[in-house]
Each structure stands twice: as structure tokens, then as C-alpha cells.
A and B are shown apart, each in its own frame.
Chain A
Amino acid sequence: MKYALRRVLQAVVVVLLAYVFTFVVISVLPGDPVTNTLRNPQNGFSEEEIQRIVAYYGLDRPVHEQLWQSLSRFVVGDLGVSLRSGLPVSRLISEVLSSTLVLAASALGVALVLAFAIGFGTQYLPKRYGQGLLRAFPSLFLSVPNFVIGLLLINVFAFQLGLFRVIDSEGGLATLFAAIALGIPVSARIAEVLVANLDHESAEEYASVARSRGLGRTGLLLRHLLKPSSLPVVTVVALAVGELLGGAVITEQIFGRTGIGSLVERSVTTQDLPVLQAVVTLAAIVFVGVNLIADLVYPLLDPRVRLGESRSRPKVEVAA
């Protein structure tokens, strides 16, 4: 309980720091969404007209005043208004959050299925029948950018085979293929760790004893090797959340989906500070939350692991 409370307090500090850091980073850059739009020579605005509009948005005030106002709003749960669209940030995020969560969860599912398929395959297949090929897959998956995978999937399955329509980007099959594009690179990292740990555990003495007692490959894998090999996978999965959120920017663009990724892309290109602050804060919350869950899951997978009571980070105790 004390541990959980400490972690929650840490999380609050991390979230506030993320909020302030985003503000500072964006504020030191030249320009803002309002002047960027107004200065488009197509618009033909005079400098006087531009300054009047900039003043309306309070962008002419000192940075520390803007930060204080922004923080005051944030602590009472007001995320402000998007400088780009003029819509409340909370509305923009709530409209797209579910799409990204579905995509990220599906991609994680795809990544886990692929990673475990590769991991199990390396334990089952004899070396001369494709085990080497399977072991090469993680490197291959990592080296192909997910936009290439996405474009290939769209071209083959949407345009050639007509399995889904690009204009129905939130449909079931469209989501599945977007999840495959996003999940493949993530699966590579999980598979690398899983394969290495399965190999390690498989070479342990207890595995040899089990084999000598006549336990089959499946039994050995499921009963003895899987659980200890999965522990590092939990860590990798927790870290992969960042990769899923980052990859969603590209995947959502390619598949024409509207999610947090595409919102970030539009906000970055237009320097929409309130939206970026909210999204970075949300990402910080997700990161902290996922890592907390990962910490809590460790003892369930391996009873030898105990959460430290007196330290700021979980302590891993290994029984002698």
C-alpha cells in the first residue's frame, strides 16, 4: 500500500514535469499556430491584423504568464482550447482516444502472437527446417519500416484483393491490417527477448532433467520454460507501449485513421501547444501506469521476485 502510494506520488510529479517540459520546449521554438497560419502569404494579412489576433489568444504575453495560466487550468482538469482548431482539447482527445487504444491493443495482440509463434517455432523446428529463418525474422521485422509494411498491406489486401476499403479506416479488417503493420516491429523486440530466454532456460539443468524423465517438447515448454522466459517479456511489453504510441503516428497516417497519432502529427506541424501538452501528459500517464502494472505482475510470474518496501524502485530478490 505504502509502495503503491509512493508510486502514485511519483507519477503525479512525472506528469507535471512532462506538462511543464512540453510547454517550455514548444515555447522556445519560433512561431505559433496562429501566426503561422496568418503569415501564409496567400492570406494577405497586414502585420497589424496579425498582432490583433495573436493578442486575442494571449500569445503576446510573457512565457511565464502563459505557463502559469496553463498550469492553473491543468490542475483543475481544464486542458484548454486547441490553438489550431479552436475546439476544446478534451474533446479532441476523447474523439480519437478509443481509435488509438483499439489499434494499440490490437497491435500488441498481433505482436504477442507473432513473438510467441517465433519463440515456440524456434523450440520446435529442427535447425535444417526453417529454424534459422525464424530466428532471422526479428531482425527482418526491425529493419523494415512500418510505413513500408503498411503500404504493402494496403496495396495487396485493400486494392488488389479488396478485403477492406481505405475509406472505412475504422472497420474491423482495416484495423486488423493496421495493427499488423504496427505490431510487426514491436513483435521483433519481444521475440528477440523471448527466444534468447527460451534458449537459456532450455539449456538449464532442470530442463535436461525433465527431458530425461521423458517429458515431451510441448510439456517442457508450457510447464517449465514458458513462465521464467516470460518475465523479461513483461518488461519489453511495458517498454513497447512507447513504441506503439510512436508507431501509431505513422500507421494512422498511412491507413487514414484518426487517432492520437494523427492528432499529434497535426499538432506538431502546427505547434498546437495545448494539444501537445495534453497528449504528452496522457502518454506520461500511460507509461507510468503500464510500468506500475508491469511491476505488480512480476511477482505473479515469479514468486522469487518481491517488491521492495523501503526503496523507491521495485527490488528484485532472487532466492538463493
Chain B
Amino acid sequence: MKTRPPGRALRIIVGLATVMGLAACGSPAAGGPAAGTATPPKDGGAITFLIDSLGDTWIPNNSAISSFQGHIWGHLTDKLVYVDDKGAVSPWVAEKWEQNATATEFTLHLRQGVTFSDKTPLDAAAVVANLDIWSKGDPTRGINPIGLFPKTYDHSQAVDTTTVKVFFKAPTLGFIPTLGYHGSILISPKTIALPSAQQADLSNDIGSGPFVLASWKEGDSVVLKKRPDYNWGPKALGHEGPARLDSITYKLVAEPSVRTSAVQSGQADVAYNPSPQELASFKSQGFTTATPRYLGFVNGFAINTKVAPFDDVKVRQALQHGIDRKEIISTVYTEDWLPAQSLFQSNVPGATDRSADFAYDADKANRLLDEAGWVKGADGVRAKDGKRLEFTLYANPYLAASKSVDELVAQQLGKLGFKTTIQAFDVVTYGERVKINSPSVAAYEVTRSFIDAGTVAGVLTDANKGENWFGLGQTDAKLVQLATGVAAADSVEKRAPLLDELQGHVLQQGYFVPLTQIVQRLYLQSPKLQGVTYNGIAYANYYAAWLG
């Protein structure tokens, strides 16, 4: 039998494989970005948004604040008010509102003609049903309340078809901004009345938003299509009538490099959560990147004042001044991250620049530790009365770069004489072992969004079932006074100076140690996609967007 030497064919195959392998190392060739010039708005087109998860359940109350499902809810549903990325509140389904002098009663005036996608009216009765389910949930049906909805809510009533009166047990200045929170999505009363197993099927969840559900597959994709009769979008977005885009497809692609390469190659329009370190490279290639900041706390440590060594104010202050935040940004993050100016993100209304209260000053930190009696040993670790200056940092599994930040902080504190151990757990173990204000947790890494700074009064002490983040109970009279004043304020003007003083007190006492302003939602986007807006919770909104 005659056999043909395979040398040539083999060489061709090997050569082809090599070329492909090398090509694969480069950036995708097809579909490079168009010139980054703005084009006038136009109707039509479909976009694909690649997302790293589609969350868990679709029961509206249980999923509305999901970092993933929040994107879809934001297009399927409306809210009563719109809160922009600077915390400014403007009308949406509620055209206007009033409050009484003590901020315990509010009257909402609804826009006429708003309907859910099943054509039932979004009227006062529907709003009352939503307020009740946000506030209380329904544990008998496995429906959660919205965690950050004001706990002071008492009841609400429909005065007529477009007027709702809402009553609170105590002053609740944050009520109106909270209506723009991502949990506060308006759902049809018919959906709210369904058993949770049926609400978990997204097809049964009826909203009034600019898009309606076209199809969905659990854990795979959600396809939305434009609602042609939609005409009640927030004026703040500068667009009226139906959405410009015909459809949005949210497709789960778990692998980050596949998401970003798909946008680079023109196969998709948006990739959610690209690696922060790659943003500069994408920008240089002409792609749009967005790193909106949500309204809420900055990333930082809530210090447990009951636990040594942080039961000493000087040690807390040394920690406060011993962390070089600029180095964290330059080492772990990029220029898209901003240094913290307070315990709140700087775009929160009422946040003031208190940078001086926690400015990096290693000499001051060393001096404070010396004054507190902590003496450096031969190994560089300080000790007092036979006890070493040590504590554990638990990396927050909900924040991608948390462990890297903690490692850098441990390194910085090591120079001052702290011995910092870092523990990293998965979400499950973290939830079980690392609890705020627990005796074993000296510093708890916080990330939490909120719409109104007034809600912070509920975490600082244990008054009114507060979360008592710092383990102080009500022992710090000044903090209790300030927190109570902030919670009870009936106007923003009266609250502002109290809020400023509160921030100063918390920072000067070293109760909260800020790290950086937080960017939890990152976007890589085709330059063809224009007119995208980001709300106060940093979700991208495509109602007014178009494809150029």
C-alpha cells in the first residue's frame, strides 16, 4: 500500500494553528469602533447587553435591588420619582408632591393616563398596593420587604384615582428620594397578589416601563421590546414618547474576557463589569467606558468600638490617619475611582468634604499610638501590657478588589506597628462568620447604597432598632443627638448642618474609616450607542438611548 508523506499538510496545519493562536492573542479584528462622533438621535435598532449574572429569583420585591436584575427592572417598570446621579429628585409617575411640616405625611399627585403593560391603570390604588408590599413584604408568601424602605412607614391611602396620602410614625424626610431607589419599582397589583412561585416567573410580572418582556430563559437571557404607547418617561432624561431602541437583549456571559471581546468585535453593544485595569486600554481603542458612582456610603471600615484595640479612640484615630488612600487608588484602582471625602459618596446631597478629618499623616498616626502607650517591639509590631496591636480584616466578597485593598492597607498599617491579618471567605461563609458589630469582627468593610442621607441615622446607634454599626449603643450622647436630629429633621435646610456635624464627629472619633469612593457598576460600551444615562444607583438607562 502506498502512503503519502504528510509533511506538507502537517506543516500547513501547524502553521495555520500558530497563526490563529497568535491572532487570538491580539485584539479582535472585526467590528472595531466607529469614530467617536456624536450622531443625532434616531429611532430603531436593537442592542445586546452582556451581563455576568441574571441574579436569582424574579419575585419583584426579592430581586429589585439586585446588581444584575436591577438593569432589567429599570426598563420593565417605572418609579414614582427619578433620582439622577447627583441625587436630584424630579417627577416621574408622581407629577408633584407635598409634605406636612413634620415630614410625617406626604401627598403624591400621580400623572394621569399611566397604564401597566396589561392596560390596567397605574392609579392611586396601585401605588398604595406597592407601598404596602415594599414596606412589609409578605412573609407568608416568601416575599421580602424592601430592606432599605423607611421603617417608619405606617400606611397609605388612595384619596382619589391620582392622589395618594402616605403616613409615617416619625419624620421621614428621606421618603420622597427613596421612591427613586432601585427597590421602589411599580408593579401591577395583579402581580403583587400572585403567589411567589408565579411571581418568580418573569412572564407574570407586569410593569409600566418603556419596554415589555418579549422572551426570557432562566439563567440565560431576557429580551425586552419597546412599548409603543409609552409616554410617561422622566422629564429629566430629556426624551418623550416611546423608547428609541426597538429592543434590548440581556444575555448572560459569565466569562469577563468573552464579554469585552464580544463588544470589541461588534457582536454586542455593552459589556457589564469589565476589569477595572482594562478600562484605559478600551478607552484608547475608542470604546466608551462608564464608571458611575451610586449614592451611598463610600467603601470603608465600620469600626467595632467594643473590641480591642479599637476600644481606644487614639488607636482608631491612628488607623484613620494611617491609611494612604491615594496609594490605594493608584495601586489597586484607576483614575476612574475618586478618593473618599467623607463617609458618604461625594454625589450624595448633604455630603460635605471632610477630607481633613482623615487625611493621611503617618507621623500623626505614630504619635497617637505612642500616646496611647503602644510600643514597637523588635519585630516592628507594637504592644501594650503584653498584648500586640493586631486585628483581622475580612475581605468583602461582594466587592471585587476588596482583598487587594485590604492587603495594601495591611502593608501601610504594618509600617505603623499594626499586625493585620487578612481573611477571605466565600459569600456563604462570610455571611455566617462576619457580622457587623460581632465581637470577632473589629473592622467591618461596608458597601451600601442609599438614596437619602437621612437613612444613615438608622445604622449609627441602636436607637429605634438601629443597626448599631460601631457597637456604641447609645453611649455617645453627641452621636445619638446628631443621629436623632438628622432622622427627625423636617427640612433639608435644617438637616444639612446636622449632617455635616455628624460626618465630622463619626470621622474624628474614628468610628468609620473611609477608603475610596465606590464604583460597583462598570460598563464597556460600543461608541455607536449614545444617549445613555445613569441614575442615582448607577444603573444604565436606555430609554433615551439610540444607535448612531
Contacts and interface: CB of A to CB of B under 8 A. Distances in A.
Nearest to A152: B24
A43 B217 CA distance: 26
B40 interface: no
Contacts of B201: 87
B159 interface: no
Contact of B431 (A35, A216, A254): A35
Nearest to B465: A46
B254 A44 contact: no
A124 B341 CA distance: 73
Contacts of A38: 144
Interface stretch (B53-61, B92-100, B490-498): B53-61
A88 interface: yes
B264 A159 contact: yes
A55 interface: yes
Contacts of B58: 85-86
Interface stretch (A10-18, A161-169, A224-232): A161-169
B452 to A, nearest CB: 13
Given A31-B431, A162-B30, A86 B142 contact: yes
Interface string B20-38: 1101100011100000000
A253 B50 contact: no
B204 to A, nearest CB: 11
B193 interface: no
A30 interface: yes
Contacts of A158: 262, 265, 267
Interface string B138-172: 01111011011000000000000000000000000
B356 interface: no
Interface stretch (B227-235, B441-449, B506-514): B441-449
Given A155-B261, A167-B50, A84 B197 contact: no
Contacts of B59: 86
A258 B57 contact: no
Interface stretch (B5-13, B236-244, B329-337, B345-353): B5-13
Interface stretch (A112-120, A179-187, A263-271, A290-298): A263-271
A81 interface: yes
A92 interface: yes
Given A42-B448, A256-B258, A271 B30 contact: no
Residue with the highest number of chain B CB atoms closer than 10 Å, among A45, A151, A166: A166
Interface string B404-438: 00000000000000000000000111011000100
Given A44-B148, A86-B57, A217-B1, A156 B24 contact: yes
Nearest to A133: B10
Given A57-B142, A86-B142, A152 B28 contact: no
B257 interface: yes
B197 A87 contact: yes
A37 B20 CA distance: 43
B252 A258 contact: yes
A21 B141 CA distance: 30
B20 A156 contact: yes
B265 A130 contact: no
A172 interface: no
A31 B432 contact: yes
A33 interface: yes
Interface in A28-66: 29-31, 33, 35-46, 49, 52-53, 55-57
Contacts of B258: 151, 154, 166, 254, 256
B200 A85 contact: yes
Interface string B464-481: 010100000000000000
Contacts of B427: 36, 40, 269
A57 B144 CA distance: 12
A130 B6 contact: yes
A126 interface: yes
Given A156-B20, A162-B30, A87 B431 contact: no
A41 B219 contact: no
Contacts of B23: 156, 160
Contacts of A86: 57-59, 62, 142, 196-197, 199-200
A160 B30 contact: yes
Given A46-B465, A152-B21, A152-B24, A56 B446 contact: no
B253 interface: yes
Contact of A30 (B398, B428, B449): B428
B278 interface: no
A197 interface: no
Interface in B165-199: 196-197, 199
Residue with the highest number of chain A CB atoms closer than 10 Å, among B141, B428, B436: B428
Given A53-B144, A56-B139, A258-B219, A85 B436 contact: no
B65 interface: yes
Contacts of B253: 166-167, 256
Interface string A91-125: 01001100000000000000000000000000011
Contacts of A130: 6-7, 10
A159 B267 contact: yes
A124 B5 CA distance: 11
A256 B421 CA distance: 38
B255 interface: yes
B284 interface: no
A125 B3 contact: yes
A202 interface: no
Nearest to B195: A86
Given A167-B50, A256-B252, A270-B56, A85 B218 contact: yes
B6 A258 contact: no
A262 interface: yes
B268 interface: yes
Nearest to B145: A49
Contacts of B503: none
B402 interface: no
A36 B258 CA distance: 28
B504 to A, nearest CB: 24
Contact of B1 (A55, A216, A269): A216
A33 B447 CA distance: 21
A39 B144 CA distance: 12
Contact of A129 (B6, B197, B199): B6
Contacts of A42: 65, 147, 398, 447-449
A167 B428 contact: no
A29 B433 CA distance: 13
Given A86-B197, A253-B254, A256-B251, A37 B142 contact: no
A159 to B, nearest CB: 4
B117 interface: no
B48 interface: yes
Given A41-B436, A156-B21, 14 more contacts: A30-B428, A31-B431, A42-B147, A42-B398, A49-B144, A49-B145, A56-B141, A87-B201, A151-B255, A155-B28, A159-B267, A167-B251, A167-B262, A256-B258
Across the A-B interface, give the 9 residue pairs with the lowest CB-CB distance, nearest first. A86-B200, A258-B220, A44-B147, A159-B28, A155-B24, A39-B431, A43-B147, A31-B428, A256-B253
17 contacts: A30-B432, A33-B56, A36-B427, A40-B398, A41-B436, A41-B446, A44-B148, A45-B147, A81-B197, A95-B218, A152-B21, A159-B30, A159-B267, A166-B267, A256-B254, A256-B258, A258-B221
